Structure 1
Amino acid sequence: MDKDPQGLLDSSLMASGPASRSEDEESLAGQKRSSSQALGAIPKRRSSSRFIKRKKFDDELVESSLAKSSTRAKGATGVEPGRCSGSEPSSSEKKKVSKALNTPVPPSPAPAPGLTKRMKKSKQPLQVTKDLGRWKPADDLLLINAVLQTNDLTSVHLGVKFSCRFTLREVQERWYALLYDPVISKLACQAMRQLHPEAIAAIQSKALFSKAEEQLLSKVGSASQPSLETFQDLLHRHPDAFYLSRTAKALQSHWQLMKQYYLLEDQTVQPLPKGDQVLNFSDAEDLIDDSKLKDMRDEVLEHELTVADRRQKREIRQLEQELHKWQVLVDSITGMSSPDFDNQTLAVLRGRMVRYLMRSREITLGRATKDNQIDVDLSLEGPAWKISRKQGVIKLKNNGDFFIANEGRRPIYIDGRPVLCGSKWRLSNNSVVEIASLRFVFLINQDLITLIRAEAAKITPQ
């Protein structure tokens, strides 16, 4: 009749299980009622069940975070222990938890010392990249190629043209940083990998020549005239000695440069003279044979110079021909004009702008053109498009009288009297001559005319 003690224990637990669970639920309900009675003075906050809600401002975020922290502290004494008993949270509590996770938490003003150390360590590479701004990726690639070619930082500093001017110390420090500083070398390699292939090819074409390359180029004779095929054959015969980006054109240009500076094997540099026999520039210029200098003639330039010289000579000849014909003196702008008469002026035809001097016994009036040259150009006085190219002629007779003959189509007015084409009229002192609305005053040099009349009276028999 004995029963297993383990079986008795299990049956008692199964019998008491529902009763104990109901007691726990009653105790939880009582705790909830007491907490709700204690918090009855606080109004219940309404919250929307929608997923999209209005954004909160900064002050609202701070207030909501403070309120939630206070409710959490209160719930730690009253509500939270009931949750640890194994009961599942309700749907309203799940909503509150998800809402608390979605709301952003304001940053704390003073971070922990461990975080500050971590932040300083993360900022160090950024500071390094900021300091490396002067050295471009192209400069790093130029530096690496040049050092691999020459193995001499001094030669690199003198022979390589970087994007900006670097001192020898800066070049040395950069090379040592690329070798031994892991951060700088990593950043430089990443930047060089991002270069365009054309930029890389251009940088490689500027690589310095090594001693082995110059030694092979110096074997080409200076007296010979090597072509591109010669240097192409040199590249094929020595592929290991030359840099991978070398071309026949680059080798030819470098060979010409070496020949210019007497660096080939069959060339010798003349030593400087010793003592006082130092050759100066003028002595060296005297030693140059002008016949050996090549005279590069430019036929187009010579033709242009010849045409310009011919044009200038024609203009000079035309001016020389007009000097003895034109007898015009233009009044200066200030109004200070020279005297009207001199020992050679017979008469003056004075206008508003210019004065025409008559120094020969016969002068022609009209409008000058390229094909027609006359003594007195009336277009200098004003608009003369209505005047004929040869309008009239003024003559001095042996007895000292002046006459004007009209040879143009328009009439000439002398003191208001018209002189038609083919007619002539005697001019006296202060006569007004009007030709196509241009007015002039004819003035006679009385002293010179008196002498001319006296000479004429002596010559004519009484």
Structure 2
Amino acid sequence: MTRGTGGTAQRGRSGPDSQGLLDSSLMASGTASRSEDEESLAGQKRASSQALGTIPKRRSSSRFIKRKKFDDELVESSLAKSSTRAKGASGVEPGRCSGSEPSSSEKKKVSKAPSTPVPPSPAPAPGLTKRVKKSKQPLQVTKDLGRWKPADDLLLINAVLQTNDLTSVHLGVKFSCRFTLREVQERWYALLYDPVISKLACQAMRQLHPEAIAAIQSKALFSKAEEQLLSKVGSTSQPTLETFQDLLHRHPDAFYLARTAKALQAHWQLMKQYYLLEDQTVQPLPKGDQVLNFSDAEDLIDDSKLKDMRDEVLEHELMVADRRQKREIRQLEQELHKWQVLVDSITGMSSPDFDNQTLAVLRGRMVRYLMRSREITLGRATKDNQIDVDLSLEGPAWKISRKQGVIKLKNNGDFFIANEGRRPIYIDGRPVLCGSKWRLSNNSVVEIASLRFVFLINQDLIALIRAEAAKITPQ
């Protein structure tokens, strides 16, 4: 009985112990199986993420001890998370949905983000403002190019292409303001070699009006080839506009594109005036001109330094002459609306020489005199002596007499010049002495004391006058 009871007691004691061991073994196996399952799931996640390529390869840290984050790092990491969420909401990255939470590797990456500060998105980038300012700078520069205007640049380029000489350009071209030779050279080199200045100048020249460009091209200097062709036209001939038009057609490559027959005729007359044609020879100056003669010495005397000797006869003669001059002035003022001599300055593109009231034109280098009466006087005007043609407007006239000569139109349509001064008048190189007269033809060169003029006749009006005279003579 005792054994039986003892056996049953041992069995009852061993039952709960074995049950506890079984439970502990089952729990250990369960936890082991869970850890294996979690490791297999983490390995599958890593493999799938590497296959998709969503997570870039990052450098592993050599430090194994993880430290706690400070307060400022926590704040910065929260800002970085909010910025990544905003990016995910605006544009979903490939391989991730908008509602999915970041993985553990991404959390580690975000925790390291404070080392690279993220700039706030609403603040504008400073590079954009700089680009806008740089793009506005050339517009301000084009408004103020300095003393050189676009018309001056175009004049300079055309003149250099015609002459290939900056000295000739400086002497022959009339710019908007006065430039020195050094300034002209520096501007030309800047247009050639400075890309900023050349670009701005080209932009400004493209904005010029076509009429302004045509006016500038008409002022281009004549090249040596053009003057050589013009010099072949004889000085004794009477060339017309058709002659110069034919010259343009025969030599289109030699002449500038803006040349006209009228411009060629005007330049030919200027060349004839200065004896630059092939059949003209320059006459040497007389030897006695260099010596001071009596008349020149008399002109240099200052009358105020002389003693004032009272002469009643002379005063009476001066009074009579003064009355006569005043009477002539009144007559001229009454006839001023009918016949008068107009003085016009020659600047660049001058107006046409003739109109329906101009009989002839005495054309100089600086001014031109329009003859509108049948008789005009030439000389040097003073306070007490008023004449029709004041030659002092053309140049130095201290050697010219107060009344040097008279130009008259006969009834048959011929013009004659009479010398009434002390110095001779040269007509096409021939001297006309005091008291003599000479017939003037079209394009005659009139030279008075180193001042040269070209005498141009209005052929249409003179033809009408001759026809009127022919009708009157038979009656």
Asked whether the equivalents of residues 381 and 387 of structure 2 are also in contact (C-alpha less than 8 Å), the reply is: yes
| Pair 1:29–1:54, CA change in 2 (3 A) | closer
Q: CA deviation at 1:282?
A: 4.5
Query: Residue by residue, what CA displacement relative to the aligned partner does 1:222-249 show, whole Å, maximum 9, x if unpaired?
Result: 1111111111111111111110000010
Query: Residue by residue, what CA displacement relative to the aligned partner does 1:245-279 show, whole Å, maximum 9, x if unpaired?
Result: 00010011111111111111111112234488647
Aligned equivalents of 1:127, 1:302: Cα separation in 2: 72
Secondary structure at 1:355 match in 2: strand
Q: CA deviation at 1:431?
A: 83
Q: Which moved more, 1:224-233 or 1:99-108?
A: 99-108
| Pair 1:332–1:17, CA change in 2 (3 A) | closer
Aligned equivalents of 2:421, 2:387: Cα separation in 1: 14
Asked whether the equivalents of residues 326 and 375 of structure 1 are also in contact (C-alpha less than 8 Å), the reply is: no
1:350 aligns with 2:363: yes
| Pair 1:329–1:73, CA change in 2 (3 A) | closer
User: What's the Cα RMSD here?
Assistant: 31.6
Larger radius of gyration: 1
Q: Taking structure 1 as the reference length, what is the TM-score of the superposition? A: 0.38
| Pair 1:385–1:455, CA change in 2 (3 A) | same
Asked whether the equivalents of residues 364 and 374 of structure 1 are also in contact (C-alpha less than 8 Å), the reply is: yes
| Pair 1:44–1:136, CA change in 2 (3 A) | same
Asked whether the equivalents of residues 341 and 370 of structure 2 are also in contact (C-alpha less than 8 Å), the reply is: yes
Query: Residue by residue, what CA displacement relative to the aligned partner does 1:67-124 show, whole Å, maximum 9, x if unpaired?
Result: 9999999999999999998459999999999999999999999999989997997687
| Pair 1:94–1:295, CA change in 2 (3 A) | farther
Q: CA deviation at 1:448?
A: 75
Query: Residue by residue, what CA displacement relative to the aligned partner does 1:300-330 show, whole Å, maximum 9, x if unpaired?
Result: 9999999999999999999999999999999
Q: Which moved more, 1:232-241 or 1:16-25?
A: 16-25
Secondary structure at 1:268 match in 2: coil
Query: Residue by residue, what CA displacement relative to the aligned partner does 1:316-360 show, whole Å, maximum 9, x if unpaired?
Result: 999999999999999999999999999999999999999999999
Asked whether the equivalents of residues 345 and 367 of structure 2 are also in contact (C-alpha less than 8 Å), the reply is: no
| Pair 1:453–1:265, CA change in 2 (3 A) | closer
| Pair 1:96–1:234, CA change in 2 (3 A) | farther
Asked whether the equivalents of residues 219 and 349 of structure 2 are also in contact (C-alpha less than 8 Å), the reply is: no
Asked whether the equivalents of residues 364 and 454 of structure 2 are also in contact (C-alpha less than 8 Å), the reply is: yes
Asked whether the equivalents of residues 363 and 393 of structure 1 are also in contact (C-alpha less than 8 Å), the reply is: yes
In the alignment, structure 1 segments of 5+ residues that lack a partner are none
Aligned equivalents of 1:150, 1:439: Cα separation in 2: 26
Secondary structure at 1:79 match in 2: coil
Query: Residue by residue, what CA displacement relative to the aligned partner does 1:160-184 show, whole Å, maximum 9, x if unpaired?
Result: 1111111111111111111111111
Query: Residue by residue, what CA displacement relative to the aligned partner does 1:174-209 show, whole Å, maximum 9, x if unpaired?
Result: 111111111111111111111111111000000000
| Pair 1:179–1:29, CA change in 2 (3 A) | same
Aligned to 1:222: 235
| Pair 1:127–1:308, CA change in 2 (3 A) | same
Asked whether the equivalents of residues 150 and 156 of structure 1 are also in contact (C-alpha less than 8 Å), the reply is: yes
Query: Residue by residue, what CA displacement relative to the aligned partner does 1:351-408 show, whole Å, maximum 9, x if unpaired?
Result: 9999999999999999999999999999999999999999999999999999999999
Paired residues for 1:103-142 under 5 Å: 125=138, 129=142, 132-142=145-155
Asked whether the equivalents of residues 362 and 396 of structure 1 are also in contact (C-alpha less than 8 Å), the reply is: yes
Asked whether the equivalents of residues 345 and 358 of structure 1 are also in contact (C-alpha less than 8 Å), the reply is: yes
| Pair 1:447–1:251, CA change in 2 (3 A) | closer
Q: Which moved more, 1:414-423 or 1:23-32?
A: 414-423
Aligned to 1:87: 100
Aligned to 2:386: 373
Q: Which moved more, 1:217-226 or 1:364-373?
A: 364-373
| Pair 1:152–1:45, CA change in 2 (3 A) | closer
Asked whether the equivalents of residues 363 and 394 of structure 1 are also in contact (C-alpha less than 8 Å), the reply is: yes
Asked whether the equivalents of residues 346 and 368 of structure 2 are also in contact (C-alpha less than 8 Å), the reply is: no
| Pair 1:101–1:266, CA change in 2 (3 A) | farther
Secondary structure at 1:175 match in 2: helix
Asked whether the equivalents of residues 234 and 279 of structure 2 are also in contact (C-alpha less than 8 Å), the reply is: yes
| Pair 1:278–1:122, CA change in 2 (3 A) | same
Asked whether the equivalents of residues 415 and 432 of structure 1 are also in contact (C-alpha less than 8 Å), the reply is: yes
Aligned equivalents of 1:206, 1:284: Cα separation in 2: 43
| Pair 1:299–1:338, CA change in 2 (3 A) | same
| Pair 1:151–1:374, CA change in 2 (3 A) | closer
Q: State the aligned residue count.
A: 459
Secondary structure at 2:239 match in 1: coil
Q: Percent identity?
A: 97
Asked whether the equivalents of residues 128 and 184 of structure 1 are also in contact (C-alpha less than 8 Å), the reply is: no
| Pair 1:277–1:433, CA change in 2 (3 A) | closer
| Pair 1:429–1:6, CA change in 2 (3 A) | closer
Q: Taking structure 2 as the reference length, what is the TM-score of the superposition? A: 0.37
Asked whether the equivalents of residues 418 and 437 of structure 2 are also in contact (C-alpha less than 8 Å), the reply is: yes
Aligned to 1:334: 347
Q: CA deviation at 1:132?
A: 2.6
Q: CA deviation at 1:66?
A: 14
Q: Which moved more, 1:357-366 or 1:229-238?
A: 357-366
Query: Residue by residue, what CA displacement relative to the aligned partner does 1:4-62 show, whole Å, maximum 9, x if unpaired?
Result: 99999999999999999999999999999999999999999999999999999999999
Q: Which moved more, 1:148-157 or 1:311-320?
A: 311-320
Aligned to 2:40: 27
| Pair 1:395–1:7, CA change in 2 (3 A) | closer
Asked whether the equivalents of residues 327 and 356 of structure 1 are also in contact (C-alpha less than 8 Å), the reply is: no
Query: Residue by residue, what CA displacement relative to the aligned partner does 1:391-444 show, whole Å, maximum 9, x if unpaired?
Result: 999999999999999999999999999999999999999999999999999999
Asked whether the equivalents of residues 54 and 94 of structure 2 are also in contact (C-alpha less than 8 Å), the reply is: no
| Pair 1:328–1:227, CA change in 2 (3 A) | closer
| Pair 1:383–1:334, CA change in 2 (3 A) | closer
Aligned equivalents of 1:5, 1:380: Cα separation in 2: 144
| Pair 1:200–1:27, CA change in 2 (3 A) | farther
Aligned equivalents of 2:232, 2:364: Cα separation in 1: 88
| Pair 1:169–1:26, CA change in 2 (3 A) | same
| Pair 1:54–1:37, CA change in 2 (3 A) | closer
